Structure 1
Amino acid sequence: MPDYPISNFHFPIFTVSLSCVDLEDCTYQITTETSVDDLSCSIESVGLMCPPLLINQRPETGNSNVGRADFEHCPQPGGFTIVSGFRRIAACHCLGWSDIEARILNADTQKLDCVKFAITENAFQRPLNLIEMSRAVYMLSVFFKEDKKLAEAASAIGVLANPSLVKKLKAVCLLPGAIQDNVLSDTISLSMALELGRLEADAGVAFAGLFETLKLSLNKQREIITRVREIALREDISILDVIMGDDFQEILNNEDLDRNQKARDIRFYLKQRRFPAITRTETAFEALVKELNLGKNVSLRPPRDFEGTVYNLNLSFKDLTELKACGVSVEKIIQNPAFDRWLKGTDNDSCVKI
């Protein structure tokens, strides 16, 4: 009977009825890949080249010398737990197979060894993604409580991580599935995932859905989270109340807006709600600059959040003709009475100061 070695272990290969394999037990599952279409085609074409690794959960057949008939006639489904080969077994089910060849671990095999086998078979086939790494580290954390020892154990079997990283990876594994899915799709970073996990119940999931829809950069994600949290605190409501509010949802669900427009409008809405006075002043200033009609080569910018008194005037030109045109625009600013009143802080309908 053939053996399949991993480290110092040798696993005999037996033919096992698929009805005896517990498909619901994902204790040792590392992979995040769920599709089996490509694998089914491969197995149908050339067969099952690498037998899955199972552990025998029936003490009465725990001896590795049991024969083929013992496995094929197990009294009830669920006699074996999958340690490695979840997708291979799923593919065989899709193909309608009734039994497969599998490597069998004795029922008395230590759980830590099973964890190591599961991780090793995945980690040495391909690079693990962040969620797969988090699953691997979390499995090992049951046996290695100190982050330093946990990092050493993980690195020894192909999951390269330092103590700081394993601490984060353990936390990621406990996050809601929606947040983990966003990590997988590169919608959010590891640090952002952990930040969402620290928010109140369901708020992190709501943000994850928002970021998946809008495909925002990290800086804009942080801006939106900060604005929403500040609004919730200022108005004494929950974060979820802000996100699920009618005005917010109206923008998000507006089919006439593309993704970028929705992101822009949501950011402006949150800024307006968080800083109503600044937003009003900003809108008034933009209207004033528009009336000045300065042209594309002249830009006039106010102090940041209108908290200072120094304005910035930028000119861009490539020759004297364009420079003279800029000069005309500058003179327009100087001679404009509305801008004069703005600088002096005079109250009027067109100049609303903070």
Structure 2
Amino acid sequence: MRFEEKRVQIDRIDPSDDTYRITTESGIDRLIDSIQTVGLINFPILIRRDQGFTIISGFRRIAACRALDWTNIDVRIVDPRSPLLEAANLAISENVFQRTLNLIEQSRVVRLLSTFYDSDHILAKKAAHFGLPDSPSFTKKIKQICLLPQPIQSGVLSNAISFAMALELRTLAEETGAIFANLFVRLKLSLNKQREIVMHAKEISRREDISILKVLEEGGIEKILNSEDLDLREQTQRIRSYLEQRRFPTVVARKKKVENFVNSLKLGKDTKLIPSKYFEDPTFTLKLHFKDSEGLKRHRATLEKVIQNFSVETVGG
């Protein structure tokens, strides 16, 4: 690709045109220090557009020079006869061969390439040239990630939200997805707990014919998150309990009744009275821990206590 090195007015460079932006890094403090010390060594790459220029490579370098109040800047301008695909490949190469790309940057690569290739199979092949998986399914999914609301993208960048969860949040209304994203980032939840919360909220929404947003609002989620009296673990438990209670009111009521009953027996650490999974039926498992016959004999009183107090009504059957 041919370039023309030239000094241009920095105001003619459009900082808002992100057509070729791949990097998610925005910090410029270290660049400012470097440029102040040794000058601008690696010139940004631009392409002419209308009366100004679009950035292909060097977004942060140009931002640093603006911060230093430069009025002119040395750049390399792509030959106007060059195909736009070559400009796209250049923008990608300037990033992908310097470091490992994060998910958002990978998404931007695929999104940029997708403007030139309609077929997911061809797109996957072209993306593979830059180290991305040669998978049409992957490219089809990941190109959506960079279009998600900013809270979700921020969660992905901080590793608080996985690729799988980001795709699930993409199916929700924008405001709803953003609320979930902020919730997951704030509480530092595992993927399993994230899925549980989303699933419960969806099921409640479907059953009660209300929006997911209303489900979250009625649960006072924001109030819980802003409570200074609750730590992250307690906030998480409050939110999960609210959704579980609303999703399975009968099961939760039975669970509480069973727990109260078991606690009232004061069985001790060597005896476990275990209800059925999800409390779906009145079947219990009784576990006794002992080392010898004397230990087993000591369980007689415990067994009598369970027999005398146990009834289907007592445990909420």
| TM-score (norm. length: structure 1) | 0.83
Q: CA deviation at 1:174?
A: 2.3
**Aligned match of 1:264 in 221, 234, 237?**
237
Checking the alignment, whether the CA contact within 8 Å between 1:231 and 1:273 is kept in structure 2 is: yes
Cα deviations by residue, 1:80-126 (Å, 9 ceiling, x for unpaired): 11111001111111122222221111333322111111111010111
Q: Secondary structure at the match of 2:17?
A: coil
Q: Which region of structure 1 is more displaced relative to structure 2, 136-145 or 292-301?
A: 292-301
Checking the alignment, whether the CA contact within 8 Å between 1:21 and 1:81 is kept in structure 2 is: yes
Task: Give the direction of change, closer, same or farther, for the CA distance of 1:159–1:247 in structure 2 (3 Å limit).
Answer: closer
User: 2: distance between equivalents of 1:303 and 1:291?
Assistant: 19
Task: Give the direction of change, closer, same or farther, for the CA distance of 1:41–1:237 in structure 2 (3 Å limit).
Answer: same
Letter paired with 1:166? T
Partner residue of 1:307?
Answer: 280
Partner residue of 1:229?
Answer: 202
Partner residue of 1:56?
Answer: 48
Q: How many residues align?
A: 317
Rg (Cα) greater in structure: 1
Task: Give the direction of change, closer, same or farther, for the CA distance of 1:251–1:329 in structure 2 (3 Å limit).
Answer: farther
RMSD (Å), alpha carbons: 2.1
Q: CA deviation at 1:130?
A: 0.5
Cα deviations by residue, 1:266-294 (Å, 9 ceiling, x for unpaired): 11111111111111111111111111112
Q: CA deviation at 1:160?
A: 4.3
Q: CA deviation at 1:246?
A: 4.8
Checking the alignment, whether the CA contact within 8 Å between 2:288 and 2:299 is kept in structure 1 is: no
Letter paired with 1:213? R
Residues 172-251 of structure 1 aligned to structure 2 (within 5 Å): 172-251=145-224
Is 1:93 the equivalent of 2:103?
Answer: no
Letter paired with 2:276? P
User: 1: distance between equivalents of 2:11 and 2:308?
Assistant: 83
Residues 38-57 of structure 1 aligned to structure 2 (within 5 Å): 38-57=30-49
User: 1: distance between equivalents of 2:68 and 2:119?
Assistant: 44
Unaligned runs of 5+ in 1: 1-8, 59-77
Partner residue of 1:331?
Answer: 301
Letter paired with 2:15? L
Checking the alignment, whether the CA contact within 8 Å between 1:56 and 1:81 is kept in structure 2 is: yes
User: 2: distance between equivalents of 1:225 and 1:203?
Assistant: 10
Partner residue of 1:61?
Answer: none
Runs of 4+ in structure 1 off by over 4 angstroms are none
Unaligned runs of 5+ in 2: none
Q: CA deviation at 1:141?
A: 0.6
Q: CA deviation at 1:311?
A: 1.9
Task: Give the direction of change, closer, same or farther, for the CA distance of 1:224–1:337 in structure 2 (3 Å limit).
Answer: same
Task: Give the direction of change, closer, same or farther, for the CA distance of 1:46–1:302 in structure 2 (3 Å limit).
Answer: same
Residues 1-354 of structure 1 aligned to structure 2 (within 5 Å): 9-58=1-50, 79-316=52-289, 320=292, 324=295, 328-329=298-299, 331-336=301-306, 339-341=309-311, 345=312, 347=313, 350-353=314-317
User: 2: distance between equivalents of 1:212 and 1:174?
Assistant: 19
Q: Secondary structure at the match of 2:143?
A: helix
Q: Secondary structure at the match of 1:80?
A: strand
User: 2: distance between equivalents of 1:16 and 1:192?
Assistant: 44
Task: Give the direction of change, closer, same or farther, for the CA distance of 1:330–1:193 in structure 2 (3 Å limit).
Answer: farther
Task: Give the direction of change, closer, same or farther, for the CA distance of 1:333–1:278 in structure 2 (3 Å limit).
Answer: farther
User: 2: distance between equivalents of 1:229 and 1:17?
Assistant: 53
User: 2: distance between equivalents of 1:225 and 1:144?
Assistant: 34
Cα deviations by residue, 1:149-200 (Å, 9 ceiling, x for unpaired): 1111122234444222111111212222221111111111111111111123
Letter paired with 2:245? Q
Letter paired with 2:173? E
| TM-score (norm. length: structure 2) | 0.92
Identity of aligned residues (%): 44
